[in-house]
């Protein structure tokens, strides 16, 4: 194995690991591999270059890169005199982590909250309504308690996401590990 191969082997090991663990970010191995490759390139890449390097179709490159852009893991780059679109990886993984949270969790939180608030209101009306049988009321009360707990959690989760989003988290968990020195 010559030096160039050694270099590539070291790189590929890391890329493969990134790819395998990307499911935590809710993306497939292939897309993770694309990200890993871009991370190690010093130059932004075109779809055709990626197609070449990953041995996949251009269509796949197009959809994969879009997914990564939606997650703010990749950005489009402009270069004078270049007709093709160029893409580069976001390098700051702390930022990527925080963005993930904001992009993926916020919408889910508000969806769930809305559904729970609606159901909670309906159940409260059933409690008020005198025609509701006693047995049903008991169950409704029970469900209301569960929904109240769940809503408290979503409230907490929202505050947590804000804690990340604003970067406040970095005041408590420092980017540079002080304890090392």
Partner DNA sequence: CTGTTTATACAGTTTTTTCTGTACAAAGTT
Partner DNA sequence: AACTTTGTACAGAAAAAACTGTATAAACAG
Q: How far is the CB of 83 from a copy of itself (least distance, A)?
A: 28
Nearer to DNA, 55 or 133 (CB): 55
Using the contact rule CB under 8 A, the part of the chain among 50-58, 60-68, 79-87, 171-179 near a copy of itself is 171-179
Site for DNA in 32-91 (CB under 7 A): 46-48, 55-60, 62-66, 83-85
Spatial separation of the C-alpha atoms in residues 174 and 82, rounded to whole Å: 40
Three-state DSSP state, 85: coil
Q: How far is CA 31 from CA 12, 14, 81, in A?
A: 15, 15, 28
| Closest residue by Cα to residue 73 from 89, 87, 61, 62 | 89
Is residue 27 near a copy of itself by the rule CB under 8 A?
no
Is residue 148 near a copy of itself by the rule CB under 8 A?
no
Is residue 128 near a copy of itself by the rule CB under 8 A?
no
Site for DNA in 80-119 (CB under 7 A): 83-85
Two tokens, residue 91: 């390098």
Using the contact rule CB under 8 A, the part of the chain among 27-35, 44-52, 57-65, 134-142 near a copy of itself is 134-142
Residues 6+ apart with CB under 8 A from 13: none
């Amino acid at each position: 194995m010559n030096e160039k191969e050694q270099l590539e082997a070291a790189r590929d090991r890391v890329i493969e690991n990134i790819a395998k663990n990307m499911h935590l970010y809710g993306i497939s191995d292939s897309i993770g591999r694309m990200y890993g490759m871009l991370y190690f390139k010093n130059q932004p890449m075109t779809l055709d270059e990626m197609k070449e390097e990953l041995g996949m179709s251009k269509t796949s490159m197009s959809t994969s890169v879009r997914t990564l852009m939606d997650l703010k893991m990749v950005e489009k780059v402009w270069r004078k005199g270049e007709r093709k679109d160029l893409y580069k990886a976001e390098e700051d993984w702390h930022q990527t982590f925080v963005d993930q949270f904001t992009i993926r969790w916020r919408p889910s939180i508000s969806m769930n909250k809305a559904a729970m608030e609606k159901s909670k209101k309906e159940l409260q009306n059933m409690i008020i309504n005198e025609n509701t049988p006693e047995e049903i009321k008991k169950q409704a009360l029970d469900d209301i308690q569960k929904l109240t707990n769940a809503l408290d959690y979503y409230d907490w989760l929202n505050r947590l996401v804000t804690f990340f989003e604003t970067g406040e988290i970095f005041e408590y968990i420092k980017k540079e590990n002080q304890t090392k020195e």
